[in-house]
Amino acid sequence: MSDFQPIREACALVGSATALAEKLGVTAVTVSDWAMSKRPVPIIRCVEIEELTGGAVTRKQLRPDDWWQIWPDLRGTN
């Protein structure tokens, strides 16, 4: 499995995987699973991560395979 770069970037922006986990109320293992593409980032966490990173990591990046189905209002945006 390959690294999921948007989560790696979010961790760096927030300070660490542990810091991101704490801010999201999940375990560091959960964030590690997302980062290693073992599990997709849950829809409910995507907006939170986007907000925590000041928009540097977007919902589109976090859910590249289905973002348009979840947030159709983002179609046509960068």
CA–CA gap between residue 19 and residue 63 (Å, rounded): 21
Q: Percentage of the chain surpassing pLDDT 70?
A: 95
* pLDDT, greater one: 77 or 7: 7
32 assigned to some structural domain: yes
Global pTM value: 0.90
Within a domain: 78: no
Q: What is the CATH number of the domain that holds 55?
A: 1.10.260.40
Residue of 16, 8, 9 whose CA lies nearest to 55? 9
Hey, CA dihedral for 52, 57, 32, 70, is it positive or negative?
Answer: positive
Residue 1 has pLDDT above 80, yes or no: no
Whether 13 is in a domain gets the answer: yes
Residue 75 lies in a domain: no
pLDDT category, 41, cuts 50, 70, 90? very high
Query: How many structural domains are present in the chain?
Result: 1
